[in-house]
Amino acid sequence: MSNVDVDELAKFSELANSWWDRNGEFKSLHDINPLRVDLIEQQSGGLFDKRILDVGCGGGILSEALAQRGGVVTGLDMAKASLDVANLHRLESGIKVDYVLSTAEDWALENAGQYDIVACLEMLEHVPNPASVVKACATLVKPGGVVVFSTINRNVKSYVMAIAAAEYLFNMVPKGTHEHSKFIKPSELVSMIEKTSLHVDMMTGLHFNPLTQGYYFSDSNVDVNYFIVCKN
């Protein structure tokens, strides 16, 4: 069986037309995107002319931003509706990104060691077997390359912040986007990473300031959203 949750696939397919509405269902992704791109660029020593794979690219928000900074970007996703939107937006923006309908595991079978950078952001909590994706990302990156993961911690605070508040109180993301049981503790993700050729280089938390309505990185805690940067 492919490492795909059909319910998750249907959920994101239904929302596909909202990917590029900056005030719509994916507003929070647009808001954090500059931070995500900056982190990847800084941790990779620049993006220009580097081969980059965006695993779980959705409508292409991250993919286009990485390509704008000089990356040679391929975006992978299993939601055809999202890729259709990504391809349409690519035509409108003129930003070159290659989009592929594939899982990371299947893509790794023919593209091992082909990428300088692999980004897998806000995706692991939406698949049945996240460890399988982590292993595929390790296979896809070149020796000396960088892999960046982001996901959500599993605890009471993350339920309150990422589900109760973000989905139901402030409508920051669509209701039903997340399932708390699928959130991944940092120790669990690190354990998955340690079973591959990757090693953890840094970990940081992504935080929201309700007063400024802005996001920022801080390693003060990784209680809710967090990023892990790995080197191969």
**Rounded CA separation 225/217 (Å):** 10
Where is average pLDDT lowest: 75-84, 138-147, 152-161, 198-207? 152-161
Cα–Cα nearest to 197, from 127, 141, 123, 133: 141
Give the chain's length. 232
Residue for token pair 């991944």: 184
Q: Are 38 and 229 in contact (CB under 8 A)?
A: no
Q: Binding site annotation covers 121? A: yes
Average pLDDT, the chain: 92
Q: Binding site annotation covers 51? A: no
- pLDDT of the residue at 163: 72
For residue range 105-121, what is the model confidence (pLDDT) as tens digits? 999 999 999 999 999 99
Distance of CA 202 to the CA centre of its chain: 17
pLDDT at residue 87 tops 70 = yes
**Rounded CA separation 156/116 (Å):** 36
| Domain locations in the chain as residue ranges | 6-151+177-200
Q: Beta strand pairing status for 115-121 and 72-77? A: unpaired
Residue for token pair 């269902």: 25
Q: Which CATH class is domain 6-151+177-200?
A: alpha beta
Residues with Cβ within 8 Å of 137's Cβ and at least 6 positions away in sequence, in order, are 55, 104, 108, 118, 120, 147, 149, 198
Q: Binding site annotation covers 205? A: no
Q: Binding site annotation covers 36? A: yes
